Structure 1
């Protein structure tokens, strides 16, 4: 059985869907209440592969909200993720994906040092970040959509915002090894990691955001948006492909200009309907078919019986592992979302 650990996008969103989740008593509660709310299994899932194989899973709502980070309730945030993992393991889930901020919090706050959660000793091989499949899908979105917009990859400049992150570095490796893109612009805050990545790739130009974006034919955004930072759409090329790989996805409301095509990055469509309700709650356009690629990774691991933390640790995603999960993705009927 596979599992998904997720969270809602804001306190307002959480309050609005509490009834649908089956917890009406949560609907009018503030942040303090959500900080103390325990994880809950709120959805049972059935997925059928185009091979005919059927698997079953559960969605674990962590009750984490992004406002917990904004209000410096770091202990509450980290406790949410660890408790959700323990909850999934306690219910016998074999492989669980950490979605959204869950994997970021786990990595950034080194939660691997916490192995005991009350009476549960966490078995980390039961969990995956899903980042390998996410990176693969973003790269395939880029490769498939760019030519339809008149962007020739062999002449294109690609800017990767968040290049030193787990997904961003994997995207850079794929672009370097699997495509003939003309130039890769590396954007991130940590200069030491940027130089390490540049050395690993043997190419790439390190630039700041404002310098890089006007030069890019394709922008892969896999970083958080710092406070006070805005993208001036009038400085972007036409045509320009902007792949929004963040969560929540909000670049479409911030960047609006003819000739700038914004795509929800890291989203897949399944060939068959999935029996669940959670994607409707998170406002996916086609909730029966569309989902986050990180969630799909746990489904693929269940289909293939690869019970291992396939994506784990910062900047360890290889092109070979992207090929491996990509092959399984195609085999079982997942394809990159190409319309937003």
Structure 2
């Protein structure tokens, strides 16, 4: 059995969803009430692979909302409690989605393995970052040519290059795609220099410098709300992959010749019959989902119950090959610029 741990996109959205589910005592509460609300298993589903194999899964709402991010102890408790619930339900492999994965990594929750009387078994959980990195990499490969961008002659900027997903995308594009040049952007300089040395190339630039030169921009860093991007300074055409969370890059760079694609989202080959992706505001909520969620499904399909994506900078090309091949085999597709699935061959 696979599990997915997620959350609503805002406090208002969470209250509406709680009301729809009949949790009126939570729906009517203020943010303090929600801070104390326990996680809820809100949906059970069955999913059938393109191979014919059927698996069962569950969606757990952590009752976390982005407005709680500034409350360190609350955010930590929300994620750990949701993980405890998944383990108590006997779920074999559970993916952390949205901010739950970010909180787990940034707040170093590996130091908090004991939740009340439960000792969390880390092998039951995955961040899903390997599949996300593979999907974003393939979205670059599949969609750049649609705009007339030859990757062997193109400059590709990776914003958030030293993160778990960003560094994996850099490795893939450098080794498998043969891009002309990688432009590396991140906040801390030493990790950037270390990544540059590992890759054996790439230029370390500021954000403004990289955006002015890039034919393709892969954005996998958190985006400050106050950030402003001068669309006139971007190259035309320019492919921008919005691989961050929440996905708001299109509102920042709306301009003719700048093409924004929601990154790290996959589409399944048939309707799943769930409601959980309506919370995530997917265009096709019966089929589309975050690639990190799909990783848990793929690991369950493959009978690979392990923390496949874990920690930072542990994503290898071999792991990306494995999860990418499984993704195609079981019926998942990446998205192209028109919002339609684009099958890939591996």
Fold match by TM threshold 0.5: yes
CA contact 1:156–1:183 (8 Å) conserved in 2: yes
Q: What's the counterpart of residue 273 of structure 2? A: 275
C-alpha distance in 2, partners of 1:21/1:222? 33
CA contact 2:13–2:279 (8 Å) conserved in 1: no
C-alpha distance in 1, partners of 2:168/2:25? 42
Matches within 5 A, 1:75-224: 75-224=73-222
Matches within 5 A, 1:238-317: 238-317=236-315
C-alpha distance in 2, partners of 1:48/1:254? 38
Shift of 1:20: 2.5
CA contact 2:267–2:333 (8 Å) conserved in 1: yes
CA contact 1:279–1:287 (8 Å) conserved in 2: yes
- Structure 1's unaligned 5+ residue stretches are none
Q: What's the counterpart of residue 5 of structure 1? A: 5
Q: What's the counterpart of residue 328 of structure 1? A: 326
C-alpha deviations, 1:300-322, integer Å up to 9, x for none? 00000000000001111011100
C-alpha distance in 1, partners of 2:265/2:196? 28
C-alpha deviations, 1:215-239, integer Å up to 9, x for none? 0000000011125321111111110
Q: What's the counterpart of residue 343 of structure 2? A: none
CA contact 1:38–1:83 (8 Å) conserved in 2: yes
Q: What's the counterpart of residue 19 of structure 2? A: 19
SS of 1:47 mapped into structure 2: strand
C-alpha distance in 2, partners of 1:89/1:77? 19
Q: CA RMSD in A?
A: 1.0
C-alpha distance in 2, partners of 1:119/1:55? 29
C-alpha distance in 1, partners of 2:42/2:239? 36
- Structure 2's unaligned 5+ residue stretches are 340-346
Shift of 1:276: 1.0
C-alpha distance in 1, partners of 2:106/2:154? 33
- Matched positions, count: 338
C-alpha distance in 2, partners of 1:24/1:233? 45
Q: Does 1:63 align with 2:63?
A: yes
SS of 1:167 mapped into structure 2: helix
C-alpha deviations, 1:144-177, integer Å up to 9, x for none? 0110111111111000000000000000000111
CA contact 1:22–1:42 (8 Å) conserved in 2: no
CA contact 1:11–1:30 (8 Å) conserved in 2: no
C-alpha deviations, 1:236-265, integer Å up to 9, x for none? 111000000011111112211011110000
SS of 1:273 mapped into structure 2: coil
Q: Runs ≥4 in structure 1, deviation > 6 angstroms? A: none
Q: Does 1:30 align with 2:30?
A: yes
CA contact 1:46–1:276 (8 Å) conserved in 2: no
